[in-house]
Structure 1
């Protein structure tokens, strides 16, 4: 349906058509930009992007995922809140706001940045961050409006230059990255205060622990004193620092950055001079996308900070990444594999990769120049991620939940089994590819335990619960069928592509009627198995205790990682979308927001039918696509 664009959009177009000068320059001043934000939010809750003046190729991004405009949040946004903190930058033609909306009736913090095209007439970029913190949204609504100091205009002669606003803001990130207690933090104003999801986290003595930690003193300190503790050193890298909206009139900057926590920092210094073990949440590599506003005064001192963040897959780059392309190829070694690499050779090289991961030393491997490594669908440098945190791996033939698979015809081998990073267990699906005597590809999918323990446990930040969570409890023994050869001394051949096509189509249709399941086929997801057969589960996803959500739609980016013909096993992965668009209430918590599920799974095949399925389910932001899948589209 069309919405009444009202005075806001009319004001926008009025500015565009005031005269030939404005029409040529495309000037859009503060009132014009603020009206555009208002109209955007009106269109969002009306589920009608067609009412907006957008370029034909407008780029729409939601929590780092590029989506078609009108999908994702456009299907579930319910109403706008009263809190709205807007930053206007007429010089760059950009505007951003920190505000609140509801998703299927539940409050959330919503950040949106709009970029106008070169003519200043149409929206060419829409970047959004959704921080699903209902408590934070409620606090914002209670505040009603930003602190008055944010909204005060500064006379031109008293303003800090644009370049200085940016450079001083950047010092905040340089100081936080591997936070050195001996650093120079004089860029903070003595009266600096910071809000995190509407909660004041400086100069306030509540006695509450800060974040995931047990430190009850940190929040009582000022901005500079907090940095001088070195407490924030668990932030190991802050990259893709962007300062897209510089509000010179109000001396404010809206910055968007990517924070990496690589899992190697094992202790936090406390404000009282002691140290404490790192919280379990930081056992494993994490990446957080942060939107932060800064108000400066005086000689460029940071006076007020307002921030919110959300978690994205580790190592993920922003679709608005600036600068040189991310290098996804690693350096090779002079080591090579002697002779042809059959099953025994592939399994040996697979074990060598696992050993190298445990030793945190990839250079011991026969690596091809340009070797690529991915973790949960993201290309990252070889040596990063699991290479720094993996501490234990279940051994096939020794441990109950571990197996190897190989396909000599494609030079691929795979591992499936239990792992441990620091104190956090996981299930690892690992694929390697060998070509011409060297390893050319290493792909890791690690489904880590999501527990709700002390200080937030290991739960992925601000995601909805799954129908069945794996909290690290025992998975028992991997079904022996996955490790048995089909016929002694004879290879078993099967049409992998045709069979997987039918299987994934059945998942998408929520119907097992055309899927060749064996009569006694059983399935487990995240270690849970119901009393239904594979076909019956597929008919009623969400009804079976270990099924996916009942409102999932597309099963895409379907990939066979390894097809082991001798054992009749396929290791496959797919992305399953749950858009969560609902017309009726109430909406279950697990289905309230758009989600994508990365589902690695072992599939046992016998006589052309599927006999067993062992799957793990990993939550991802809606629209997530593996870098391997994106590569296949190019």
Structure 2
């Protein structure tokens, strides 16, 4: 062999080695996708996102909350479980998994979806954490999915990608308001469904289904269940997305289910209809992930799990628009002159509450572009509380109610008891009036969380709060909130007081917060024997248990400053990372965010009373007002 030929062969060989050694770009096949999912689960259990091949600006989401990669579940996850059901979509460069994961030692059902770019870098990480240790244990006992999920289907027996999505989507179209006369022939006659690892079709156990007392529903097949109309309490299914595994004829879907509280009766399954469970007294939004295995063009197997999000929560990935701003600009102004004084603001506030009570906003002087929010989510005027409210307490009539006004900014606030169907709540409501029109309505509603029959009214998949409010009477509102203020703060309340208050909450220090020596505080109706300063500093055992375990206090907002009464109505989000020295109490063992509407009484420049409510939110939850207006 000539020297020249040897050199050519050597050069070709070296090029071949270089080609093999270089990272491959372009599509990621099943093996590649499954390997990336395995890497992801190993990395989160090791609390090390640097192990992942992520693209710049990778988007990380937990239960629809955008969280910095490395926070949230990354700080508390460990021990991926045995059960792992992987869905690969090479055409879309996506991979999903239904698996289990331990969170501070407690089992959860864990959903992950990864989106990959052409350089095989992860651009999106979407996760759903269903905190159901019993369901996680069921999955662990299964150890692996039913074999039919993992079988490659012969080409001749496959339907197209579009057809797979169309047939799977019929499941949601049929469930939404669940018409018992609908066509449900898209189910295979041998269809079965798992919910959190529990078979909920074709079962003769006599166990009740979900929150209901119905014992017959789970004995029916998939098609027969839909033919009952039983699932009609699901009033809307939106933000539907689909990952398609064509080789296995499998679809993994991510959707959001709304229950707006208007459906008040379950249809007959046992033989008689029954009232809707108390859980659906108030508007609910559930985030659901479901796997569908098709046989031909019929749904043959269904595997689902869900968790609860604040009502109206939008998908972090669909890019679903905010509810359209109202185009209504009514001329039926109920007050004269601008600005609106205290009496005027009180009248407008009363009218808003009455309109909510009769479920009709058309009589209100709404400005074009009016915004309405509920617990930090923008939703349509007329949705949420407008559908469920049945009564509210009135200042001067009921003992736990007060109104506040700031004519300078055109804002008014209400704090009082509500009832939504049979469920009590506390409402902190803010309205803003400008040029004779209502431009903003903000409702922060903390509902009683009872653990009664069929799971009561408890928010699904959340840890207990240090202090739960299970509809126990709150008693009268401290009368100091109804009295005029004293001293210099009777004419103005410096914003520095609220800044130092929130800073103190975040730093667990009362050093720079002006409290009176006799300041008292209640949270969810519970008042301990510690002063406000001692609670904030974490001395002893504080009644709400939040101060010495939380981190960031953000989305800090003053809703109304009533200088005449010396009262500030505020709201903020407080994060608990579920990390810390030693073992954590069960109330602090899950990454959480607390929504805290509060009344702050200020006398002579110092805080003398705090009345607060505490509502659990998914970790990282933010107020839409903060996002849109930069408060």
Tell me whether the two structures share a fold, i.e. TM-score over 0.5. Answer: yes
Q: Distance in 2 between matches of 1:323 and 1:310?
A: 20
Change (3 A) 1:630 1:187: same
Q: 2:315 is matched with which residue?
A: 318
Match of 1:627 among 617, 624, 628: 624
Distance 1:564 1:166, change over 3 A: same
Aligned position for 1:443: 442
Verify: 1:224 aligned to 2:223, yes or no.
Answer: yes
**Structure-2 change in CA distance of 1:398 and 1:324 (3 Å):** closer
In the other structure, the counterpart of 1:5 is: none
Q: In structure 2, the residue corresponding to 1:265 is in which secondary structure?
A: coil
User: For the residues of structure 2 that align with 1:618 and 1:51, how far apart are their CA atoms?
Assistant: 35
Map Cα deviations across residues 272-297 of structure 1 (whole Å, 9 max, x no partner): 34200000000000000000000001
1:237 maps to: 236
User: Of the candidates 548, 557, 562, which is equivalent to residue 564 of structure 1?
Assistant: 562
- Equivalent of residue 524 in structure 1, options 505, 522, 525: 522
Pick from 276, 280, 288 the counterpart of residue 290 of structure 1. 288
Distance 1:436 1:236, change over 3 A: same
Contact 2:486-2:566 within 8 A present in 1 as well = no
How far apart, in 2, do the equivalents of 1:219 and 1:450 lie?
A: 27
Per-residue deviation at 1:487?
Answer: 5.2
Please list the CA deviations of residues 228-279 of structure 1 after superposition, one character each: whole Å capped at 9, or x if unmatched: 0000000000011111x10000000000000000001000013134200000
The answer (yes or no) to whether the contact 2:578–2:590 under 8 Å persists in 1 is yes
- 8 Å CA contact 1:392–1:419 kept in 2: the answer is yes
**Cα-to-partner distance string for 1:187-229 (whole Å, 9 max, x where unaligned):** 0000000000000000011111000000000000000000000
> What residue is the counterpart of 1:280 in the other structure?
278
Provide Cα deviations, 1:497-555, integer angstroms capped at 9, x if missing partner.
21100000011111111110011100000000001110011111782123425310010
* Counterpart in the other structure of 1:59: 59
Distance 1:541 1:390 in 2: 39
What is residue 89 of structure 2 aligned with on the other side?
Answer: 89
Q: Secondary structure at the match of 2:484?
A: coil
Q: Please give the alpha-carbon distance, in whole angstroms, between the structure 2 residues aligned to 1:582 and 1:405.
A: 39
Q: What is the SS of the residue equivalent to 1:233?
A: helix
Note if 1:42 corresponds to 2:39.
no
Change in CA separation of 1:179 and 1:549 when aligned onto 2, cut-off 3 Å: farther
The structural deviation recorded for 1:326 is 4.2
Partner residue in 2 for 1:346 = 345
Q: Who is 1:109 aligned against? A: 109
Match of 2:505 among 504, 507, 511: 507
Q: Deviations over 1:424-445 (max 9, x none)?
A: 0000000000000010000000
Q: Which residue does 1:434 correspond to in 2?
A: 433
Measured in 1, the distance between the counterparts of 2:550 and 2:235 equals 36
Structure 2: stretches of 5+ with no match in the other structure: 1-15
Note closer, same or farther for the CA distance 1:363–1:595 as it changes in structure 2 (3 Å cut). Answer: same
Q: Paired residue for 2:5? A: none
Residue 156 (structure 1) aligns with: 155
- Decide whether aligned partners of structure 1 residues 375 and 53 sit closer, same or farther in structure 2, where only a CA change above 3 A counts: same
On the 8 A contact 2:486/2:603 being kept in 1, the answer is: no
Structure-2 separation of matches of 1:427 and 1:362: 21
CA distance in 2, matches of 1:201, 1:541: 49
Change (3 A) 1:512 1:241: same
Query: C-alpha distance in 1, partners of 2:493/2:390?
Result: 37
The number of residues matched between the two structures is: 614
2:489/2:603 contact within 8 Å kept: no
Structure 2 partner of 1:485: 484
Shift of 1:334: 2.4
TM-score by length of 1: 0.94
Q: What secondary structure, in the 3-state scheme, does the structure 2 residue paired with 1:362 have? A: coil
Task: Report the Cα offset of residue 493 of structure 1.
Answer: 2.6
The correspondence of residues 116-515 of structure 1 with structure 2, limited to 5 A, is 116-117=116-117, 119-243=118-242, 245-298=243-296, 300-322=297-319, 326-329=323-326, 331-336=328-333, 337-340=335-338, 341-486=340-485, 492-515=490-513
The 8 Å contact of residues 496 and 563 in structure 1, kept in 2 or not, is answered as no
Distance 2:467 2:272 in 1: 39
Give the distance between the partners of 1:215 and 1:197, measured in 2 at CA: 19
* 2:486/2:604 contact within 8 Å kept: no
For residues 38 and 603 of structure 2, the distance between their equivalents in structure 1, rounded to whole angstroms, comes to 59
1:604 corresponding residue in structure 2: 601
What does the per-residue CA deviation read over 1:478-509, in whole Å, with 9 as the maximum and x for residues that have no partner?
Answer: 01100101259x98233432110000001111
CA RMSD of aligned residues (A): 1.8
Tell me the distance in 1 between the aligned counterparts of 2:398 and 2:81: 53
The answer to whether the 8 A contact 2:374-2:384 is kept is: yes
Equivalences for 1:9-24 in 2 at 5 Å?
18=20, 23=24
Deviation at 1:19?
8.8
Instruction: Choose 1 or 2 for highest CA Rg.
Output: 2
Distance, in Å, in 1 between the alignment partners of 2:30 and 2:207 is 40
- In structure 1, the partner of 2:3 is none
Q: Which moved more, 1:322-331 or 1:120-129?
A: 322-331
Any idea what SS the aligned residue of 1:544 has? Answer: coil
**Deviation readout 1:436-460 (Å, 9 max, x if unpaired):** 0010000000000001000000000
Summarize the Cα distance change of 1:267–1:105 in structure 2 as closer, same or farther, 3 Å threshold: same
Which of 325-334 and 232-241 deviates more? 325-334
Quick one: distance in 1 between partners of 2:590 and 2:534? 26
1:416 to 1:40, Cα distance in 2 relative to 1, 3 A: same
Cα distance change on mapping 1:539 and 1:481 into 2, 3 Å = same
